[in-house]
Chains A and B, each alone.
Chain A
Amino acid sequence: MAGAASPSRYDCVIIGGGHNGLVCAATLARAGQSVLVLEAANQVGGAALTREFAPGFRVSAGAHLLHLMPAQLLRELQLDAHGLEWAAQGMSTTALVPGGAPLVLGQPGGSAAGVSAADTQTYTVYCARMRRFAAALAPIFARTPPRLGTTDWADRWSMLKIGWQIRKLGRADMRELLRIGGMNVFDLLEENFESAALKGALGFDAVLGANFGPRSPGTVLTLLYRLAAESAAGTPGLSQPKGGMGALCDALAKAARAAGATIRTGTPVATIRVEADRACGVILESGESIGARRVVSSADPKTTFLRLLGPKHLDTGFVRRVNHIRSRGLCAKLHLALKQAPRFSGLSDSSLRGRLLLAPSLQYIEHAYNHAKYGEFSAAPTLEITVPTLNDPALAPPGQHVLSAIVQYVPYALKEGWQNGRQRLLDTVLDLLESCAPGLRASVVSAELLTPVDLEKEFQMTGGHWHHGDLAFDQFLMVRPVPGAAQYRTPLEGLFLCGAGCHPGGGVMGQAGRNAAHEVLKLSPASP
């Protein structure tokens, strides 16, 4: 805690102590603002936290891998000095192939072992080209998106810069980027590769966390977006903080406190206070009122506008747009406490320490998605699996292990209801895992399954969507979350957004929090 007595009125009150809220708080506090962070849960972290899910077993209960947070941000906030250590960096990705040998993907995009010579050759070219595209798109992440249709020179300049980045690729690459930009990832990968396992693994990243199957329009763009975010981050790929994702947020909290910010946990905000048509603080669920010149919300846009602020302070058209944000999560999270490390058939120890994908073909993913469209889950869902205890044994009792998996596609509104559905889904996933890692079921000490409804409740994310809204062409950039709030400012004077619902979106990136802080700091200190 900062030693100074809390002021009667803060420069900024930040709603939500997830990674974006904390990045925003640290950035603002370092610029000299008096900052208060209010977190509803009893610990900071939001959906990037570590918690116990079975006695003695701890897990990153939301996101379980770090690969998008910019290296520059980690340096800027001196997170290593504030206790951030790495259990693993540059983790590999391996595609599990039921009944076949696993496919190890090179890092990043060097080679893929176990495919035909033609695929190996194409893979190198494909990865290099996608990396170039990603690098061209990367600069948009650290910027406030331009508004469309304005005469403001800053908006026009910003648009020009995006255009210039793409033009700079050269004629052949630009033509190819424009050709594939609107395609679906299924067709793109079919054009390039023979191996079903390779296509499945590459296509998986295009639809992870999205309401899309590989054949959905715009999935090349979502893949490029992920690659561009990785490129913008400039870090050594997939990483696992020591102590889980919660350790990252603990370091962010320390950085924010060191800069003078105050952080209060277990203090849910009930409403945003409005006086004379501007945000002037918040009222906690306890009834306590806190004054602030500005309120910055890292909660998702629907929660911020419809619940905390309320439509009565907003225009109908704006509320209509917020109401239409697509924010139904399609991912569940599985946590297993294991007596021993799982043994996946044919998998090397080094692969097991990395990221494992169960998406053996594009058809497999598409079929899994089909069920979700109709309120069901597939008997063969896709999985992203990590065994964090191999890199960080302290997360479980000695000799025992934790398995963490993202299960996709799991509909928020399950037709049969979650009362019955939960156990059925758990059994389905355990059977699936058993088929890849014989003996795993017998070693399960305890299991926790978080459905999208559970994720919504635990992390207070509308629809349980960890990006606070689909990352899709119509919810990118200047239309994220909605026009009128896409530059972090909102229609209500004094209220800002800084969460994953804003550009550049979700994943544990922190860029939205940082961009929002810069937008707040752009206002002259004298302005009310």
Chain B
Amino acid sequence: MTESRAPHFKEPLLKTPFHERTRALSEVDSFIPWAGYTTVDVFTNVEQEYFAIRNATTLYDLTPMVKYRVAGADALPYLNRLVTRDIAKLKPNRVAYCAWCNDAGHLIDDGTIFRLGESDYRLCTAERQLDWLLDSAIGFNVEISEVTEQIAALAVQGPTSCAVLKAAGLTGVDALKPFDIGYFELGGHRVTVSRTGFTGDLGYEVWMEPEAAGAIWDALMAAGRSRGIRAIGSQALNIARIEAGFLSPNVDFVSAEHTIRTGRDRSPLELGLSWLVDFNKGHFTGRRALLNEQARGAQRQLVGLDIAGNKPAHHALLYTDDSGRREIGAVTSAIWSPTCKRNIALAIVNAPHFRIGSTVWAEIYLNRELVWERRMSRAQVVERPFFAPERRRATPPGEF
């Protein structure tokens, strides 16, 4: 692949192996850069693409997701020292969502670890961080290599996704439980399928060699035609991920390796990821700092908000009451949820206002034909996720 590539200054953004397909389907020519690749933001219309996630099957080009191979005799102790979760509990052919911190216990990134063999793991991350991974490897017998370009990936998500995969010839894919990994033939190529995703819905991620990308895209499109399959861009996915309550880096938190100002780092305890932190598994980076933080008690928390009205509270500051005198936090992600029919948001809220059931007030700015109006809307701290259908967990998945 690399030898045929144009010089970087002529082609600053790379094309994924699916680019020919996605370019052909793009009707509004809306592309955005993602981790050095050009990717589709919107194909046709955000709403149509979003509703395909919740009602049919969608294809989303996941290739730019950064992937690292971690292998070697010390792969397990290495990963257990890197991330906050106990990876010893991760069985072969299983996936674990996890987070990792710097020494101060502040989140660097979250991602997924795939256990592909006895001591062969794949770490999928949002940001490139080979430097941190290599420094973490000092003293461990482990090999780390970036394999982003060597693996193409498609997210196949939506209630009919299992049926589509079966129609494409993936016999037995319905036996995969959430976070399982299976190996199949698709369009004449070997693929790895994991029951994972970023939509909070029934869905799978299909991993393949880049050379097979076109054939597999075509095979899935053909198999899904009768089940409403369509390609989606990042905007539609973002609505789904907020409904599912998932964090987005640089939106809901900034990696501790990138923050410049003090106090802008976030710990997993603050971000509602305490369930990922296992203090009993032995030492990991940030453990001592997190124990101290736990003893002190959280000063702020990432929470879900249910906000009055129908205007998304983008970037809204939060207050104790509608006078707007005492600021207690800010919204990080906000949407009108088309499925929940609720005005929802993710927000960072100071203690003690982050308790479930607390009332806070969001300051929403509305641009009405270039005249700005300010609205104080009552909001309630609610449980996440906002949307969690049974079908996302059911095994075998229902026939939709």
Contact = CB atoms under 8 A, between A and B. Distances in A.
Nearest to B108: A316
A313 B283 CA distance: 6
Kindly name the residue among A314, A317, A484 whose own CB sees the greatest number of chain B CB atoms within 10 A: A317
A320 B135 contact: yes
Given A277-B283, A277-B288, A491-B288, A315 B138 contact: no
Contacts of A306: 138-139
Kindly name the residue among A277, A310, A316, A491 whose own CB sees the greatest number of chain B CB atoms within 10 A: A316
Chain A interface extent, by class:
10 to 19
A315 B135 CA distance: 10
A311 interface: yes
Given A277-B288, A312-B140, A323-B138, A317 B102 contact: yes
Given A277-B288, A306-B138, A316 B77 contact: no
Contacts of B140: 311-312
Interface string B134-148: 011011100000000
Interface in A28-67: none
A318 B286 CA distance: 10
Interface in B94-152: 102-103, 132, 135-136, 138-140
B283 A316 contact: no
A319 interface: yes
A35 to B, nearest CB: 27
Contact of A312 (B135, B139, B288): B139
Nearest to A323: B138
B266 interface: no
A415 B77 CA distance: 36
A310 to B, nearest CB: 6
The DSSP consensus for interface residues of chain A is: helix
Interface string A472-508: 0000000000001000000100000000000000000
B103 A312 contact: no
A491 B103 CA distance: 10
Interface string A288-324: 0000000000000000001000111111111110010
Nearest to A274: B283
B139 A316 contact: no
A484 B288 CA distance: 12
Contacts of A317: 102-103, 135, 285
B67 interface: no
B77 A312 contact: yes
Contacts of B138: 306, 311, 319-320, 323
A316 B135 CA distance: 6
B139 A318 contact: no
Contact of B285 (A277, A310, A315): A315
A323 B139 CA distance: 10
Contacts of B285: 315-317
Interface string A313-350: 11111111001000000000000000000000000000
A335 B134 CA distance: 42
A319 B139 contact: yes
B342 interface: no
B81 interface: yes
A318 B135 CA distance: 10
B184 to A, nearest CB: 37
A320 B138 CA distance: 8
Contact of B132 (A316, A318, A484, A491): A316
Contacts of A315: 102-103, 285-288
A306 B287 CA distance: 19
Contacts of A319: 135-136, 138-139
Given A306-B139, A311-B138, A311-B140, A316 B102 contact: yes
Interface string B257-294: 00000000000000000000000000101111000000
Given A277-B288, A316-B285, A317-B285, A311 B103 contact: no
Nearest to A309: B139
A473 B287 CA distance: 31
A318 B283 contact: no
Contacts of B82: 316
A312 B135 CA distance: 12
Contact of B136 (A310, A316, A484): A316
B285 to A, nearest CB: 4
B264 to A, nearest CB: 16
Contacts of A484: 103
Contacts of B103: 315-318, 484, 491
Contacts of B132: 316
A308 to B, nearest CB: 12
A312 B283 contact: yes
Interface in A112-156: none
Contacts of B286: 315
Contacts of B283: 277, 312-314
A300 B296 CA distance: 34
Interface in B135-184: 135-136, 138-140
Given A277-B283, A320-B138, A312 B81 contact: yes
A310 B140 CA distance: 9
A316 B138 CA distance: 8
A311 B287 CA distance: 14
Nearest to B131: A320
A304 to B, nearest CB: 13
A327 B193 CA distance: 49
Nearest to A277: B283
Nearest to A313: B283
Contacts of B77: 312
* Nearest 8 A/B pairs, CB to CB: A311-B139, A315-B103, A317-B103, A315-B285, A316-B136, A320-B135, A316-B285, A319-B138
Interface of A: 277, 306, 310-320, 323, 484, 491
6 contacts: A311-B81, A315-B103, A315-B287, A316-B82, A316-B103, A319-B138
Given A277-B288, A315-B285, 11 more contacts: A306-B139, A311-B81, A311-B140, A315-B103, A315-B286, A315-B288, A316-B102, A316-B136, A319-B139, A491-B103, A491-B288
